[in-house]
Structure 1
């Protein structure tokens, strides 16, 4: 009897041991299976463990790589993510877009609000040296730099017909990217999500927001926890953006009062669009007089020689004839130069099709140096480190590319802003107040045109005890902000002030 009892106990223990062993084995197998699933594998595969030119430890984790938005053509968009140095699990996720169309968001990464400051290498043309940027936007948020559309920066497609694109296709692809990206990073699906950028991102961001909001309304999964957007010196509406050019030039002391009054009289207060020849000639005279200025920041030097500026002025688009100063015989064919960071704004928004600057025979960006970024991003060791395709497959990195054939196929963005503010999304429109490309008075005017009640009247905002700019707040979570002394790319020219307003706005603090 006793022997039988012992035997049964042994059998029971054996069964329990077998069940426990299976359970433990299951615990080991399931995590392994999860690690092999797309949701968990991509972040580890995309982890950046070091970067050529930088020595030391990153303050937070970095990830980069591709997300394919079309399997048939392998149309893939490249991103670089820096986790927040404060609290990645709770801080917002913010995507950054540079303009163009055709400008890589590594422009912002290298020269603006990215994690590093880039310095020349020890030899001419050598690999740049990287140091931590004390004003990186990763100080207070998870920030991701996205090259969009395919053909820009490190993003690519094996089907070159994909490089014929426009606003709507770019927005649709960006939305596909975001949905797949949040699948790869499910831990961020509950974080507040914002979209940010500058220049032609004034078109990118509202159109992408439209896709995101429609997806939310339709219940598309994963659900994006979208909260709003912020845009610097945004291309928005031709009437507002470009009618402010001549008055702004006069207000900043760039043209004489006599010249201004002459143009104003001939143009009857309208400085862009359907104007007669007499008016257009005087407007182009203003452009000619200002051709050697750095249009992106009138306080900053122009990187290229004036002779180069003149060549680019002549070789750009929209021909118009008038006589060169001191020339009495033949007309001089002058063409309107570009008026926006990395894109011929006036041509794009007026005619639809956007001519790329490199294709016009000039440098990629007048007055702009891209040597440090190009030297770093064209280095094959850097490409391996950030998981980007080699030059042999996708070509050299370009700050502003001529690979794409882009059409501006939407209209004014004012209606988009009205829609999203009315829905309750938070919106910050900010302007460097020394930008001649998209002058702040035009931006201020269209913001006011939305018709919302002013809840925080025009006043200075401060960094320490110094005035950093001016701001005005409206109903429906809409804020307009200027940054004193900044140009078109605010984080590049005023990094400390940029981090200040960025962190305050994300936190919902009053400026």
Structure 2
């Protein structure tokens, strides 16, 4: 073969090798982009150093952002992230979901466990004022407050199809969210992780934890350093939850002994639609008498004024008899009609006045036009509940050894502590630390019991639905002790 031909063949061979290497690199790049890159491209986070209504720079680390989930990332989940004010390098990371479904995690951030509260003063038409919360759980842990499911708060869908979700799908999106968030925040990959929530999240959080655990076992990266979960006033067995409302009401002296005994005889322990026999006239009559007896009671906290319950139609979770129709939907009045904080929901209205301000949304880095009007608890969410109960997920998670904290405000009649006690007891684990009081500042803050599966049950004395809003100091102490594995 002539030398020129040999030289040309060698040159062609070298070019082919270069092209093959280039193609391999390109293929690897796109594989990496598919696996990691989309969340880098479509995950956005920004520091928030100042907030309208708060004087001076924020004395804690606040970040907000969006993470795209699902294959096409048409679901954009919004979050607020507050870094631990103690030791963020080592402190646990908590993914927090507010209940509803459809209540924004801003509720937990401002009214329950976050570092800010609204100043409880009369609304005068100006921007509501923010003050520091001395009982913030972020003093012991970093917390991601996630707006979930899609359509909640500032989370939105880029297509009409993506705007609808069901329970299991939403749980999977939460898992996707956290893994993508950890990729964007690798400094937290080794931190202990807990998932928390309240009310309706009692159904979804155990599913999310199960999915995370299964993903870890399957080798999905990044691995989540999952340690456990915590739930407040959690819905667990919706089909039977309100059966405990009647013994609770009797124990609180809201109904007479005679009516209670008659209810037990006539209804035979089943007080919830659709399980009530429609031909059982005596039972129906007793239930009507019961409804009349509690018609003036605030179910979220039986000692508070009856002013409505600013949450998405809780009667739909348990049947209309449980809450009747007195749980009015929240509407925002004109500023002049709010004269004073006569009821707790007056404080909820401040969130609308504050977060609807253009300066606030700019500070929070909200994408303009991504949603319509912000709603704290969205009654019209396109969402289908599919999880019948979460009991068996607690069973599975117990066998895997995850820690859990289940707490109940003892004045909540929506999810009475009696129902929570009952399903925990039916797990049939032995008691390792029996029923006793726990103390905050020399006073009884509630009662607690710990089981051999690593589950701790706690009542919060004077707490409602949900406990941290009504007893912030006690719940903060409870959380701090539990998260560092100290006895309550």
Q: How many residues align?
A: 433
Question: Which of the residues 319, 324, 330 maps onto 1:363?
Answer: 330
Distance 1:127 1:225 in 2: 41
Alpha-carbon deviation of 1:275?
Answer: 1.6
Q: Does the aligned pair in 2 maintain the 1:235–1:438 contact within 8 Å?
A: yes
Task: With the length of structure 2 as denominator, give the TM-score of the two structures.
Answer: 0.83
Question: Which of the residues 284, 295, 302 maps onto 2:299?
Answer: 295
Task: With the length of structure 1 as denominator, give the TM-score of the two structures.
Answer: 0.79
Distance 1:242 1:123 in 2: 36
The equivalent residue for 1:104 is 104
Secondary structure of 1:504's aligned partner: helix
Question: Which of the residues 428, 444, 447 maps onto 1:451?
Answer: 428
Alpha-carbon deviation of 1:39?
Answer: 8.8
Query: 1:454-490 CA distances to partner (integer Å, 9 max, x unpaired)?
Result: 1111111111221100001100111110000000111
Output the aligned Cα RMSD: 2.6
Distance 2:285 2:92 in 1: 49
Alpha-carbon deviation of 1:162?
Answer: 2.6
Is the aligned partner of 1:164 residue 2:164?
A: yes
Secondary structure of 1:416's aligned partner: helix
Change (3 A) 1:74 1:164: closer
Query: 1:333-359 CA distances to partner (integer Å, 9 max, x unpaired)?
Result: xxxxxxx973445544679xxxxx99x
Q: Does the aligned pair in 1 maintain the 2:250–2:260 contact within 8 Å?
A: yes
Distance 1:173 1:166 in 2: 11
Is the deviation greater in 249-258 or in 477-486?
249-258
Secondary structure of 1:368's aligned partner: helix
Alpha-carbon deviation of 1:38?
Answer: 8.8
Is the deviation greater in 61-70 or in 490-499?
61-70
Q: Does the aligned pair in 2 maintain the 1:232–1:489 contact within 8 Å?
A: yes
Is the aligned partner of 1:412 residue 2:401?
A: no
Is the aligned partner of 1:90 residue 2:90?
A: yes
Alpha-carbon deviation of 1:121?
Answer: 7.1
Q: Does the aligned pair in 2 maintain the 1:244–1:439 contact within 8 Å?
A: yes
Change (3 A) 1:133 1:241: same
Distance 2:270 2:46 in 1: 51
Is the aligned partner of 1:424 residue 2:401?
A: yes
Query: 1:119-171 CA distances to partner (integer Å, 9 max, x unpaired)?
Result: 26786232110111000111111011110011011111122333322210110
Secondary structure of 1:250's aligned partner: helix
The equivalent residue for 1:342 is 311
Q: Does the aligned pair in 2 maintain the 1:250–1:257 contact within 8 Å?
A: yes
Is the aligned partner of 1:401 residue 2:386?
A: no
Change (3 A) 1:43 1:121: farther
The equivalent residue for 1:188 is 188
Query: 1:403-456 CA distances to partner (integer Å, 9 max, x unpaired)?
Result: 422222122211100110110000111000000100001100100000000111
Runs of at least 5 residues in structure 1 that lack an aligned partner in the other structure: 1-36, 305-339, 352-356
The equivalent residue for 1:9 is none
Runs of at least 5 residues in structure 2 that lack an aligned partner in the other structure: 1-36, 333-342
